[in-house]
A = this chain, B = another copy of it.
Amino acid sequence: MPIHTVIQKYKELQRNTSNGYYNPTNTRIIGEVFIECLRFLGSVEREPLISKVANKSYFAFKKEGKISRAINDNLFYPDEDSWIRMCDVLEQNRLDLLTKEDLAKALYTIAISFCASIDLLKNGDQKTPGTFFEYFIAYLFTWRVGTEPNRSIRILSLDEAETRLRTDFTFNLGVNKQKFHMPIKTSTRERAIMLWAHQKLLDGVYGIEKFMGTPVCLAETKVDKKKKEVIEICTPEQWRVYQLYIAKLKRVYYLDVPNEYVKLNYDFPPIVIKPFHEFFYEWSNLAPS
Chain A positions near chain B (C-beta within 8 angstroms): 124, 155, 159, 163, 165-166, 191, 193-194, 196-198, 200-201, 204-205, 237-238, 241-242, 244-246, 268
Contact = CB atoms under 8 A, between A and B. Distances in A.
Contacts of A244: 204
A244 B193 CA distance: 18
Number of copies: 2
A interface secondary structure, majority: helix
Nearest to A124: B124
Contacts of A198: 193
Contact of A200 (B124, B155, B191, B246): B246
Contacts of A238: 165-166
B194 A241 contact: no
Given A204-B246, A205-B241, 10 more contacts: A155-B241, A159-B268, A165-B237, A165-B238, A166-B238, A191-B191, A197-B197, A200-B200, A201-B241, A204-B245
Contacts of A191: 191, 194
Contacts of A166: 238
A19 to B, nearest CB: 26
